[in-house]
Amino acid sequence: MKQIKKEDLNKNFIYPIYEEDSVHTSLCDRLGYDLNKVAVKTNNEITVVHTLGKCPFDKIIFVGLGTKDQMTTYALRKTLTHVFASLKEDAVLWATPIVYGNHNIDDIVRLCVETHCLAQYQEQVIGHDAKERVNLDILADQDVNDAIAKGLAYAEGINLSRKLADRPANLMTPDDLLEQAQILAKDYDLELTVLNKNDLMDMKAGGILSVNLGSDLPAYMLCLKYNNNGDAPYHAVIGKGITFDSGGYNIKGNSFGMKYDMCGAANVIGVMKVLASTHAKANVYGIIPTTENLINGSAYKPQDVITTLAGKTIEIVSTDAEGRLILCDAITYAQQLGATHLIDMATLTGACVSALGDLYTGVFSNDDEFCDEFMEVTKACDEKSWRLPIDDEYFAKLKSNSADFKNSVGKMGAGASVAANFLGAFVEDSTKWIHLDIAGTADNDGSAATGVMIRSICEYLSK
């Protein structure tokens, strides 16, 4: 993808147009008739005009944008996704006519580039080469190469996350996640700390180790370190890395889609790639606790009592409430490293899916200012989020007679908030924390990972 000049225009020409705008007179003159009578300008409508050799390109693809006063970046992303997903041939997008309101050409080009790459992504069929992406070049009235580069960087980070999450569980194990972290660290000169099972045992990280007991594969705590802001405090981005979740002895009735239980971990890798490739001015730890949750003769059981890295004891009510057990150790580890702000991402609860569906990510936080700032960024990034409550009375439901508290209430009711309160018990008073429950938004109902919240987290950290 690159910026081109008008004289180099020789591919299919994508011409976005608002209802109140007119087709450029030079095109009408070349074709010999008024294209305004042909192009449908209502939003999300596509009109294809064949140039019959009268232009250096075969087709003009008019993309209706509706009226400028009704345009939003969210609507623009949806319209362009529709256009770019249907592209079968290389094309040139004239970006200048899209500019509206307070947005400048750089904003628009970056959005277009990112949307094209995301729309062209497809899950790779195992045993076959990946589908080649249809190329899109950009025509603009000024230099937009920096915007192109930034759009590509964000899209490539998001698509890397999607690619990892889309891999089947037998080909995306904790060892495979480790390999991906090693590749990223090498490519971008990041510091990588790998805590293996022996290290976790020495640390007494009983949360992740307990979940790992039923698997023949090792558990890891992976930590990628990005430093590009001097001595400024560190943020930590933490992602749940359950590469397959059977539910353990509380076995799931249907485990289809559970390869996506590591979307949080995949998103952390995507975040770190974006930050490194854009040279973001930030200090960030990317932390991935990863294991399978399976069943064997050694697997942890309901009513077992475990001791976490923080020294808190947990009574196991449900072995299918495992994500919070590996995350609580990661939260403790992040604070041990000195991170002052934490953002964790996890496909954590079906309750959040029931409450918010696949449109909104559930947001929980112990700090109003931190949460408000982040949610403003999610809005600007067109990623829908909704804050849900944490409350001492939810946490009281986890009271246990044999441990400090339980890992689950064991019945329906406010499950997303109860899970968030469980995690919050491991966050120190001086630490600012956001928990993102992406159970409904991380994939499309058991297929096609989305890379949700990578854009918003990177934008927040970059600021």
Token digits of residue 207: 């949360």
Q: Which of 11, 324, 406, 432 is catalytic?
A: 324
User: Which pLDDT score is estimated for 446?
Assistant: 82
Percent of the chain whose pLDDT exceeds 70: 100
Q: Which domains, and CATH codes, for the chain?
A: 3-140 (3.40.220.10), 167-462 (3.40.630.10)
Residues contacting 326, CB < 8 A, separation 6+ = 207, 208, 211, 219, 240, 241, 242, 289, 290, 291
Residue-wise pLDDT tens digits, 195-243: 999 999 999 999 999 999 999 999 999 999 999 999 999 999 999 999 9
For residue 239, give the nearest of 172, 177, 306, 157 by alpha carbon.
177
Token digits of residue 437: 């429950």
The Cα–Cα gap between 425 and 61 comes to 55
User: Which pLDDT score is estimated for 199?
Assistant: 98
Q: Which of 133, 204, 252, 384 is catalytic?
A: 252
The per-type count for the chain, helices as H runs and strands as E runs, is 14, 18
User: Which pLDDT score is estimated for 6?
Assistant: 79
The Cα–Cα gap between 368 and 365 comes to 7
The four Cα atoms 176, 130, 347, 82 give a dihedral, to 10 degrees, of: 160
Q: Which parts of the chain sit beneath pLDDT 50?
A: none
The Cα–Cα gap between 261 and 350 comes to 12
Element (H, E) at 289: strand 283-293
Residue 324 annotated to the active site: yes
Token digits of residue 367: 């700090």
User: Which pLDDT score is estimated for 48?
Assistant: 96
Residue 273 annotated to the active site: no
The Cα–Cα gap between 101 and 262 comes to 39
Q: Report H helices in 133-195.
A: 145-166, 174-188
pTM of the model: 0.96
User: Which pLDDT score is estimated for 11?
Assistant: 83
Token digits of residue 79: 């319209």
Mean model confidence pLDDT for the chain: 96
The Cα–Cα gap between 403 and 312 comes to 8
